[in-house]
Amino acid sequence: MTAVAQERTRQRLLDEACRLFAMHSFAGTSLQMIADTLGVTKAAIYHHFKTRDEILTAVIQPAIEELRTAIAVAEVQRTPAARADAMLSGMVDLTVKHRALIGMIGMDAGVTSALQSHPDIVELIQRPAELMRLDGTPGAEINATIALAGIATAASSPVLQHHDQAELREHLLAAGRRVLGLRTRRS
Amino acid sequence: MTAVAQERTRQRLLDEACRLFAMHSFAGTSLQMIADTLGVTKAAIYHHFKTRDEILTAVIQPAIEELRTAIAVAEVQRTPAARADAMLSGMVDLTVKHRALIGMIGMDAGVTSALQSHPDIVELIQRPAELMRLDGTPGAEINATIALAGIATAASSPVLQHHDQAELREHLLAAGRRVLGLRTRRS
């Protein structure tokens, strides 16, 4: 196989794995099931990934990179409000773009538990809540958690899939700002 | 066994089932596992419940009854804002009180799928989002979804378990009102 064909197979494998994880849960999806759905042998899967954990990590990799960038953008802002607003805006973009992935991850305790063995990812996932706290009060911590949970869950909710991305993005951002107590600004 | 002992066994069974569902997921918990954890035979389980689905329904029954009451209270309010506020307040009480249960249900696609065979429960669960919409605009629908998702996920989040119930309740209610665009009133 050429490098291009290899890459195409790898991407098809990741797309199919993501769909199967969402349907049968991460714990309920075996390498054999992924191979069967793709119509390839388990050896063909092993050529790309040694374990199911490696597949999960590869599935979430693009979103993780965008999260890393969004955090970096937020971190260079000068005030707590500007940091919170930049982080919120980054999270809204990311969750709307990766709706299916967020829905799959958020509904699956097996994914949460598998990610525990990647301390770098765990640390990264905790960072937005820290950046979205306006101060050290309990209220600020609760508000950041509500904003993040509300955005992620609403963006991936089947109920809202009929809204277009731009409309959903705008309302999620406005609602997030109201939860955090941020003034509306140009985004 | 006396009726009291019977009822005590039934409650212990439900508590243990809820704990196992949260740990191994609903799909990953068998009647045999519940029997083993309780140190009883499967026949003793069958005395109380015929299927795992019956256990799930019994586990969520108290929360479902409170939800039914909260919906009834919201429905008799005269204005959309009063209806939304009453429903929000009821949902905050319910989610804070049943944190563990909400966390178990929310993280488990198997529970969502099992509940589909109970149309009355499905209808009941959809009602709060309808009552929390202030009008027929897409924004109102998205806000109601964000408020509900944010409250339920934040209330059951491990991150917020160190806050006491009264503090959590107060902040969830205030944040929910900001998302929905409701004025603060006495609760």
The upper half-sphere exposure of residue A4, i.e. CA atoms within 13 Å in the direction of its Cβ, equals 0
Please name the residues between 38 and 97 in chain B that touch chain A, using a CB distance below 8 Å: none
Give the bridge partners for B108, in sequence order.
A108
Does B159 contact A110 at a Cβ distance shorter than 8 Å?
A: no
- Rounded mean pLDDT, B154-183: 89
State the smallest CA–CA distance between residue B176 and chain A in angstroms. Answer: 8
Does A160 contact B151 at a Cβ distance shorter than 8 Å?
A: no
| pLDDT band at residue A27 under the 50/70/90 scheme | confident
Q: How many CB atoms lie within 10 A of CB A135?
A: 8
Lowest mean pLDDT of A23-37, A45-59, A152-166, B118-132, name the range. A152-166
- Rounded mean pLDDT, A95-122: 84
B131-159 burial, b for 16+ CB within 10 Å, e for fewer?
bbbbeeeebbbbbbbbbbbbbbbbbbbee
Q: Which residue of A has its CA nearest to B143?
A: A175
Is the CB of residue A107 less than 8 Å from the CB of residue A153? no
- B99 has a pLDDT exceeding 90: no
- Rounded mean pLDDT, A44-61: 92
- Provide the pLDDT for residue A113: 84
- A142 has a pLDDT exceeding 60: yes
State the smallest CA–CA distance between residue A17 and chain B in angstroms. Answer: 17
- Rounded mean pLDDT, A161-165: 85
Measured between beta carbons, which residues in chain B are less than 8 angstroms from residue A167?
Answer: 138, 142
Give the contacts of A157 (CB within 8 A, at least 6 positions apart). Answer: A103, B145, B149
Place of tokens 């256990």: B55
- Rounded mean pLDDT, B114-125: 92
- A35 has a pLDDT exceeding 80: yes
| pLDDT band at residue A54 under the 50/70/90 scheme | very high
Q: How does the average pLDDT of chain B come out, rounded? A: 89
Q: Is A109 on the interface with B (CB under 8 A)?
A: yes
- A187 has a pLDDT exceeding 70: no
- Provide the pLDDT for residue A154: 85
- Rounded mean pLDDT, A55-62: 93
Q: How does the average pLDDT of chain A come out, rounded? A: 89
| pLDDT band at residue B107 under the 50/70/90 scheme | low
Query: Mutate which of B126, B145, B164 to disrupt the A interface (most A C-beta within 10 Å)?
Result: B145
Task: Report CA-CA distances (Å) from B174 to A47, A108, A179, B151, B171.
Answer: 53, 29, 9, 11, 5
Task: Please tell me which of the candidates A109, A142, A154 has its beta carbon nearest to residue B160.
Answer: A142
- Provide the pLDDT for residue B171: 92
Q: What is the rounded CA–CA span in Å between residue B150 and residue A149?
A: 5
Task: Please tell me which of the candidates B139, B141, B171 has its beta carbon nearest to residue A143.
Answer: B171
User: DSSP letters of B162-181?
Assistant: TS-HHHHHHHHHHHHHHHHT
Please name the residues between 130 and 149 in chain A that touch chain B, using a CB distance below 8 Å: 138-139, 141-143, 145-147, 149
- Rounded mean pLDDT, A4-9: 85
The pLDDT tens digits for A87-105 are: 999 999 999 999 888 877 7
Task: Report CA-CA distances (Å) from B98 to A71, A182, B59, B137.
Answer: 33, 30, 11, 31
- B134 has a pLDDT exceeding 90: yes
Give the bridge partners for A108, in sequence order.
B108
State the smallest CA–CA distance between residue B155 and chain A in angstroms. Answer: 8
State the smallest CA–CA distance between residue A170 and chain B in angstroms. Answer: 9
Helices (H), B119-163: 119-131, 138-156
Give the contacts of A182 (CB within 8 A, at least 6 positions apart). Answer: A81, A84, A85, A88
- A17 has a pLDDT exceeding 70: yes
